[in-house]
Homo-oligomer: A and B are copies of this chain.
Amino acid sequence: MTDVRPGAGRTPSRAVEQALVDAAERVLVRDGLGAVTVRAVATEAGVAPMGVYNRFGSKDGLIAAVLVRGFDGLRGAVTADDDADPLARLLASGRNYRLFALDRPQHYGAMFGGRPLPTEGADELVAAATAAFEALVGHVRYAMARGALRDGDPVEAAQVIWSSVHGAVSLELGGAVLTPDPSATYETLLRMLLAGLA
């Protein structure tokens, strides 16, 4: 366990917060979103529950901090490959989206599982989620500007792409891909998207 007791005195406040979010992520991955409570995270981090309340206000604030980290990671995955070729960039972005979800299914489920998002810490959460979506919009604009996708509303095209990859990833995580090779079917989906938007 990381020692993040406020009483230790020498750990800067930001580092304590990060250690608590680390602990919350471990609980999420190990036991699921329902298990992410102030008490469980305090135990995981080796601090008193009040140490969590003081920093995050509530369980919702704690979950929001975990989701912010999730959306930051997703934005990173979507922007990791900045190939100059616009279609190669979109393909890489789409592949990385899937890999992010397969690598962090509990995070993905918490981010997009359809449960109401926490209201505590909501501003930072909305900003992080918006930044991840904007990364995709940026790729679409880049492709439209170079004629690789036909001209149109980049936000709508990005929404259509996101819908499709989100659906594919959700079905795969739920074990509902009925073709023998989900990875190949996902590749077919990405190429269908680019052809349909070209």
Contact = CB atoms under 8 A, between A and B. Distances in A.
Interface string A154-194: 01100110111111101101101111000001001101111
Among A153, A178, A194, the most chain B Cβ lie within 10 Å of the Cβ of A178
A133 interface: yes
23 contacts: A109-B114, A112-B170, A113-B114, A114-B173, A156-B185, A156-B188, A159-B177, A160-B168, A160-B189, A163-B168, A164-B164, A164-B167, A164-B189, A166-B167, A166-B171, A167-B167, A170-B170, A192-B193, A194-B196, A195-B195, A195-B196, A196-B196, A196-B197
Copies in the complex: 2
Contact of A112 (B156, B174, B185, B188): B174
Interface residues of A, number: 35
A76 B170 CA distance: 24
B176 A112 contact: yes
Interface of A: 109, 112-114, 133, 153, 155-156, 159-160, 162-168, 170-171, 173-174, 176-179, 185, 188-189, 191-197
Given A179-B155, A195-B195, A189 B171 contact: no
A176 B166 CA distance: 11
